[in-house]
């Protein structure tokens, strides 16, 4: 059976359910690279350009780990999906970076998706991938519809409060999440890129760490597109990088939840150009409306102990502030 590799990084946290369902319905085997480990990240750091951001280094590590296990790597060139904002240039160059940046890599399935230039661009892209494998049109359409359905289910789980790794496990392994009971004393919003927040190695598993400290956590991924769309920010002009714009809107949304939220954390990626601006805008654009705010920068050397201590200190401070207000 033909094996298609999907690295567990970057878009994995957003589109994996759709991609997996599509390829499996076509009769192909999907192989993933598993969780990020030190060895895997070291491989990525070795292979990627030194000034690449951490998530791209992580992606390199995952792609490398799939090198001898698959016939193809699926790395679509997703440019724009909402006709307004585009994904950052690192995403656009990803297929080429993997193809030419490392030796003897499997063939890359590199399909361009840009909803600004073509009608039905997403369907056309999936169709062309199906055609690559000589599949019949009816089967490709069936696989696409199934993939869309699974993606919808995935998004519903996220809206209900599951985090992407939990929703993926629930869909494909029927594994119920362990720590979803929202019974903590505090409520935090975490904003940032999904591939930073939910990569449990580089984020030192921030979501579960906070839960263990008695904090209920909501992330940008739990917010509906409508909730995000309704947020306004005053940066003078539109942010044109998709994930950065989404982060800014999520921060705005959480800032408007003063009565329900006790803290906001922005998880930023070291080496990310857009993030340096996003973080400042979160702080300067009316701030976080008096809600305690902390930003944490993640890099390839982020230590469990260092980030754990900062989180504990932040949680303690918020608790003390809450007590003093009672
Ligand atoms: S938005 Fe930032 S973190 Fe994400 S891929 Fe681009 S540079 Fe890297």
The CATH number covering residue 266 comes to 3.40.50
pLDDT tens-digit readout, 156-205: 999 999 999 999 999 998 777 765 446 678 999 999 999 999 999 999 99
Q: What is the mean pLDDT of residues 139-147?
A: 98
Instruction: Give the pLDDT confidence of 248-275 residue by residue, as tens digits.
Output: 999 999 999 988 999 999 999 988 988 8
d(CA 298, CA 268): 6
- 151 and 22 in one domain? yes
* Same-domain pairing of 146 and 26: yes
Judge whether 178 lies within some domain: no
Is 74 within 8 Å of 23 (Cβ atoms)?
Answer: yes
Coil, helix or strand for 294? strand
pLDDT, residue 178, reads: 66
Q: Is residue 158 part of a domain?
A: yes
Index of the ligand 1 atom closest to the CA of residue 269? 3
Q: Higher confidence at residue 117 or residue 109?
A: 109
Specify the higher pLDDT residue, 92 or 283. 92
Q: What is the overall mean pLDDT for the chain? A: 92
Q: Give pLDDT tens digits for 277-299.
A: 898 888 876 678 889 999 999 88
Mean pLDDT for 311-323 is: 93
Instruction: State the pTM of this model.
Output: 0.94
d(CA 139, CA 127): 10
CA–centroid distance, 73 to ligand 1, in Å, is 20
Kindly state whether residues 120 and 210 are assigned to the same domain: no
Residue 180 domain-assigned? no
Q: How far is the CA of 195 from the centre of ligand 1 (A)?
A: 9
User: Is the Cβ–Cβ distance between 54 and 299 less than 8 Å?
Assistant: yes
- What is the C-alpha to C-alpha distance for residues 171 and 81, in angstroms, rounded to an integer? 24
pLDDT, position 134 = 96
Atom nearest to 241 CA in ligand 1: 1
Within 10 angstroms of residue 64's Cβ, the number of other Cβ atoms is: 21
Same domain, 94 and 203: no
Q: Ligand 1, atom 6: nearest CA belongs to which residue? A: 88
CA of 90 to the centre of ligand 1 (A): 6
Pair (232, 265) in one structural domain: yes
Where is pLDDT greater, at 239 or 15?
A: 15
In a shared domain, residues 290 and 200:
yes
Considering the domain boundaries, does residue 282 fall inside one?
Answer: yes
**What residue ranges in 213-277 does DSSP mark as E strands?**
215-219, 263-269
**Which stretch of DSSP H or E encloses residue 109?**
strand 107-109
In a domain, 42, yes or no: yes
Residues 263 and 224 in one domain: yes
Return the percentage of the chain with pLDDT > 90, whole number.
78
3-state secondary structure (DSSP) of residue 182: coil
The pLDDT value recorded for residue 6 is: 98
Residue 54 maps to a domain: yes
Confidence of residue 304 (pLDDT cuts 50, 70, 90): confident
**Domain final residue pick, 141, 170, 199:** 170
Lowest mean per-residue pLDDT among 26-35, 50-59, 210-219, 303-312 = 303-312
Which domain-ending residue is among 146, 170, 194? 170
Taking alpha carbons only, the member of 265, 281, 276, 270 closest to residue 314 is 265
* CATH number reported for the structural domain that contains residue 25 in this entry: 3.40.50.11890
β-strand partners of 190: 219, 265
Phi and psi at residue 4, in whole multiples of 5°?
-110, 125
**Section 17-37 average pLDDT:** 97
How far apart, in whole angstroms, are the C-alpha atoms of residue 101 and residue 34? 22
Give nearest CA residue, ligand 1 atom 7. 272
Asked whether residue 220 falls in the same domain as residue 250, the answer is yes
How many distinct structural domains can be found in the chain?
2
Domain co-membership, 191 together with 147: no
Q: State whether 74 and 118 are in the same domain.
A: yes
Which of 118, 142, 170 corresponds to the end of one domain? 170
Domain range for residue 61?
3-170
Question: Are residue 11 and residue 137 in the same domain, yes or no?
Answer: yes
Q: Is residue 194 part of a domain?
A: yes
- The residues, ordered by sequence, that sit 6+ positions from 243 with a Cβ below 8 Å of its Cβ are 87, 88, 193, 194, 274
- Give 24-70 as a 3 state SS string: HHCCCEEEECCCCCHHHHHHHHHHCCCCCCHHHHHHHHHHHHCCCCC
Q: Please give the helix or strand (H or E) that residue 3 lies within, else none.
A: strand 3-6
pLDDT of the residue at 130: 98
Let me know whether 162 and 194 are in one domain.
no
Q: Which residues line ligand 1 (CB under 6 A)?
A: 53, 55-56, 88, 90-91, 193, 241, 243, 269, 272-275
**Domain for residue 109, yes or no?**
yes
**Half-sphere exposure (CA, 13 Å, Cβ side) for 191?**
28
pLDDT at 182: 60
Are 254 and 260 a contacting pair, CB within 8 Å?
Answer: no
């Amino acid at each position: 059976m033909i094996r298609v590799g999907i690295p567990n990084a970057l878009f994995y946290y957003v589109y994996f359910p759709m991609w997996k369902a599509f390829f499996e319905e076509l009769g192909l085997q999907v192989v993933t690279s598993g969780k990020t480990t030190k060895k895997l990240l070291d491989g990525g750091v070795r292979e990627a350009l030194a000034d690449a951001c951490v998530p791209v280094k992580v992606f390199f590590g995952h792609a490398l780990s799939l090198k001898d296990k698959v016939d193809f790597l699926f790395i679509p060139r997703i440019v724009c999906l909402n006709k307004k904002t585009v994904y950052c240039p690192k995403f656009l160059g990803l297929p080429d970076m993997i193809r030419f940046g490392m030796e003897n890599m499997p063939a890359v399935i590199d399909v361009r998706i840009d909803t600004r230039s073509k009608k039905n661009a997403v369907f056309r892209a999936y169709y062309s991938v199906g055609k690559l494998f000589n599949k019949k049109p009816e089967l490709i359409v069936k696989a696409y519809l199934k993939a869309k359905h699974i993606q919808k289910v995935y998004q519903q789980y996220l809206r209900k409060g599951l985090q992407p790794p939990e929703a993926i496990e629930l869909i494909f392994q029927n594994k119920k999440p362990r720590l979803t009971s929202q019974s903590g004393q505090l409520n935090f919003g975490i904003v940032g890129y999904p591939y930073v927040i939910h990569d449990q190695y580089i984020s030192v598993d921030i979501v579960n760490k906070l839960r263990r400290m008695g904090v209920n956590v909501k992330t940008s991924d739990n917010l509906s597109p409508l909730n995000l769309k309704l947020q306004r920010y005053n940066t003078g002009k539109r942010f044109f990088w998709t994930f950065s714009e989404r982060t800014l809107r999520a921060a705005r949304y959480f800032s408007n939840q003063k009565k329900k939220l006790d803290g906001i954390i922005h998880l930023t990626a070291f080496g990310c150009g857009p993030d340096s601006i996003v973080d400042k805008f979160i702080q300067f654009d009316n701030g976080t409306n008096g809600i305690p705010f902390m930003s944490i920068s993640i890099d390839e050397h982020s230590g469990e102990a260092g980030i754990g201590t900062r989180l504990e200190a932040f949680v303690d401070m918020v608790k003390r502030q809450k007590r003093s207000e009672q």
